[in-house]
Every structure is written in C-alpha cells, then in structure tokens.
Structure 1
Amino acid sequence: MANGTTRKKGASGKGAVKAARGRSVVTQKHTPWGTIIGVVVVVCLLAGVVTYYLVKSAPQREQKSRDEAAAAFAPSASNPDPSKKIPGVVTKQYAGSVHILPTERVAYDQSPPFGGPHDGYWASCTGVVYPTAVRNENMVHALEHGTVWIAYNPDQVKGDELAQLSARVKGKPYTMMSPYPGLDKPISLQSWGHQLKLDKADDPRIDQFIAALRTNPNGVYPEIGASCDALGPGQFDPANPPPFDPSKPGPDAKPMDYKGSTGAANEQTGMPGGQ
C-alpha cells in the first residue's frame, strides 16, 4: 500500500508539472498587439497617401479626358482652322509685329484684346497661371506667338472652376492664364485674331479652342516658332509682371492702326531697336 501510495503521489506530481508547463505555453501565446497596431498604422498611412493622390490628381486626370475628347479639333492641312466650327468664336484680322514701348498703352478694340499693337516684350506663356492681372500689351504679344490666353473674372470664377481652368494651363507650353477684372463674362479665351467667351469652366468648347488654335501651324497667328520663354527682369519678369491697368486709355493711347514706336524692342532679340 505504501508503495502504491507513493506511485500515485509521483504521478500526481508529474501531472502538476505538465499542467504548469501547459499554462506557461498558453501564457506565452499572447496576442501581438504591437504588430497589429503597426499594420493598422501602415494601412491607414497608405490609404491617406492614395486618397491624397486621387484628390490632388483629379483635375489632371479629368483634363486628360477632356483633351482626348477635343482631339478632333486639332488642325490639319485639310482643316487649317477648326475653331471656325466652334459655336461662339469671334474672329478679326490684325497686323502683326507692331510694337510699342513699355510706358505706352493701346486703345484696344476688344476686351480682353486678342490682337493689334503690343509691347515689344511678350508675356511668359510657358504654362503660366498668373495670380494677378497682367498688362494687356504684354499678353497680346504672347498671342502673336501662338499662345492661348485664358482670362477669367475673379469675382465669378473661384474654387473648383478655377482649378479646372488651371489644369488646362499649368506646365503646358504656349498657354497662360490670368484674372481679368471687370470681364463681361466669367471666362474669355484669346488666341491671335480669335476669341471665345463662356459661362462655365466645364464647357467642352474651352478644350476645343485650345486644340484648334494653340501653336496652330497654318498661319492663324503671325510668328510661328517664336519663343514663349520668360525674358527676365528689365524686360518681362513672370514673378513680377507689369500690372493690368483697368482705367480707360487716355488720348495718348496708340490706335489700332498704329505703325509702331521708335525704340520699341524688336522681335528677334527682345532688345530695343528701330521701327
């Protein structure tokens, strides 16, 4: 009996040790909260990055679709000026290469102007979105080089509509955009000898106008191949452009049939020369 009792106690002791080990293993298999939290943080960060990208890139992605839809308005030898098929486009004939001095004004026949005498220094038109209104005489010169200028009424175009217009210009050569105080329509597009005024930034005619007229090689603007690069301080500085003058031109303003000012910058060098 004694031996039997001893064996039972031994067996009981071994069971207790085994149970203790089991409890130890169970205790060691704890939930990895640190790993889980780390994964959740990474997933949230990735979701934030993706959401930020989608929101920020939305105007560019939408613009790509608009560009594709307007591709049918690209000029060709058989259709040299597709803008003639765009409802609302106004056209006029203007003589090119008539320059004035930076201190002079032109009594333009249109507002915004889209042709006529202009400053010898062109406005930078390398996809620039100007935050403030720029002097007409410099902007018109850029049109002579094949640029499309989007002007907008700053009291009427804001927020998403402003972003839609900017997406058509930012970083795109031979385009530029600026506010135009007092504009009689929310939006006005200009290329040399062409204008289109619109009410909404999502109007497909904006993209059709750009596709038809920006650097159109078929003689719709005077100076094919001319530069749009910034001339720099002392000539035209895009970081500090000459401001728009909203006042009515005075009696000394140059008429639309003006022949040019002596000493105005010439086209080849951007430097003063005889007219």
Structure 2
Amino acid sequence: MSTATSEQAPRGVTTWGPLRTVSFILVTSLAGALLVGGAAFAALTFVVGPGGLAGPGGLAGLGGTDGSGVRADGSIEGVRTFEGLTNRHQDEPVDYAQHPPVGGDHLAVWQDCGFYDAPVVTEAAVHSLEHGAVWLTYDPDLGPEQVERLQQLAASNPYLLVSPVRDLPSPLVASAWGLQLQLDDVADPRLPAFLVAYQQGPQNPEPGAPCSGGLAGTASQLSQV
C-alpha cells in the first residue's frame, strides 16, 4: 500500500544539487515574464534536465504567472509524495489508491505521450509514469483556452501525457511516479517547476524508457479494436 507525505522537496533537487534549484527559478521566472495580460503562451522553448539548462528532458513552451512557486530549498509548494508503490504488469483493471494514480501495477504496454481529448486507459498511463512521463490530467469541462494551452504543452514536451479525467480533486492535476500536484489553472507557475523537476526525472523506476511506440488511442477507441 502506498503512503502519502505532503509537500516534501522534489527528489530531483536533492539528487542534482544547487544547479537544479537555480534552473527552477530561472525557468519559472522567464516563463512568468512571457504571460502578459493573460496572453497565449509564447513560442519559446526551454530544455532543462539533470545538467541544468540544455540538459536532457525538461520543459518547453510554457508561460506562467508572477512567482515561481519554488521555495529556496527547491521544494515545490503543494507537491505530495507517495511511497511503497508496486510496479507489476497485469492485464486486469487496477483499483488505485489515488485519483488520478501516481504509480502502481499497470498494463505491460504504456500510453504514448501527447495530448488526448478523451480519457486514455488508466493502467497504460501509469506505465507511462514508470517511464518518466508527467501525466497532466484535466477536467473535461476546462475552458477551451486552457485546453489549447495544454495542447501546446503536449506538442513540445515528449514526456508529457495530457488527457481528461472526470471527478478530479482540482481542475488540473500533474502526476509523476510517486508525486502529485493539484492546480486550478494552467498558468500556475508551479506547473513549469513540476515539469522541469519530473519529466524524465530521477523518481521514475525506468529512466530512459520510451513514451512512444505504445498505445496511441483513447480508451474508447481501443475498446473498439
């Protein structure tokens, strides 16, 4: 059974040191400057990974609001961590303790990263988390402007999976393996910090595993095959 701990420092910061924290603050500050008067996201790409700016993995094409949402110690406000997650392959539906899930047993095939306008197979999405993806779930009633921004994010981040999920605890929920952040708006500055920390971050059990070449359809489409 998984256990939850509230607002712990991202393990990416602990593993990668001060450069990682500087990268968080730099990226979220620059991203915040791009969003003026609620304008659409600017076409600017950041790539931040274990080596800092220009490292592998990271964030691309995201705007934000004033304030980084990252504390001086590198922790992201509101992030919850979950431990004791299993990662066995199985074909049956899984009853996850979290909604949406942050890890656990899953299908043997993963969900391709990208944007989906209908629900995907949950157990396949959890496999994507195991491969280092961030799963950004959104309320199906989210406004079209915010959904368009999510599409832009998914198009420029190869380890980002975006799909609608009903009965979320907040309009948006960002999940990585063992980690979760509830958000009210796509412009929340904590979202870029979360993506920088956990897309192909050190928390995933299978670093370097793909987020393509798996299931490319929605749950409804796949059920008709």
Both proteins in one fold, TM over 0.5:
yes
Q: What is residue 139 of structure 1 aligned with on the other side? A: 125
Q: Could you report, residue by residue, the CA deviation over 1:161-207 in whole angstroms, capped at 9, with x for unpaired residues?
A: 11222222114211110011121210000111110001111101111
> Which residue of the partner structure matches residue 42 of structure 2?
61
Is residue 188 of structure 1 aligned with residue 173 of structure 2?
yes
Q: Is the 8 A contact 1:189 1:206 kept in 2?
A: yes
User: Gaps (5+ residues) in structure 1?
Assistant: 1-57, 245-275
Q: Do 2:85 and 2:178's aligned partners in 1 also have CA atoms closer than 8 Å? A: no
Q: Which residue of the partner structure matches residue 184 of structure 2? A: 199
CA shift, 1:59, in A, is 4.1
Equivalence for 1:116: 104
Work out the CA distance in 2 between the residues paired with 1:59 and 1:166: 12
> What letter matches 2:103 in structure 1?
G
2:197 is the alignment partner of 1:212:
yes
- Equivalent AA in structure 2 for residue 189 of structure 1: A
The answer to whether residue 50 in structure 2 is matched with residue 98 in structure 1 is no
Aligned to 1:61, the other structure's residue is in SS state coil
Where 1:190 maps in the other structure, the secondary structure is strand
How many residues are aligned here? 164
User: How far is 1:131 from its partner?
Assistant: 1.2
- 2:218 alignment partner in structure 1: 241
SS of equivalent residue, structure 2 residue 95: coil
TM-score, reference length from structure 1? 0.54
CA distance change for structure 1 residues 194 and 76 in 2, over 3 Å: closer, same or farther?
Answer: farther
Contact kept, 8 Å, 1:59 with 1:163, in 2: the verdict is no
Task: State the secondary structure of the residue aligned to 1:149.
Answer: strand
Q: Which runs of 4+ in 1 moved over 2 A?
A: 74-77, 94-97, 240-244
Identity of aligned residues (%): 34
Deviations 1:148-171 (A, max 9, x none): 11100012x122111222222114
Q: CA deviation at 1:94?
A: 4.0
Match of 1:229 in 2: 212
Letter in 2 for 1:176: L
Contact residue 96 and residue 222 of structure 1 kept, 8 A? no
Deviation at 1:123, TM superposition (A): 0.3
The code of the aligned residue for 1:214 comes to Q
- Give the letter aligned to residue 132 of structure 1: A
Aligned to 2:20: none
Select the structure of larger CA radius of gyration.
1
Once residues 84 and 108 of structure 2 are traced to their aligned partners in structure 1, the CA distance between those partners, rounded to angstroms, is: 16
Q: TM-score, structure 2 length as denominator?
A: 0.66
> Who is 1:85 aligned against?
75
SS at match of 2:212: coil
Aligned residue for 2:154, secondary structure, equals coil
More strand by share: 2
Q: Relative to total residues, which structure has the larger helix share, 1 or 2?
A: 1
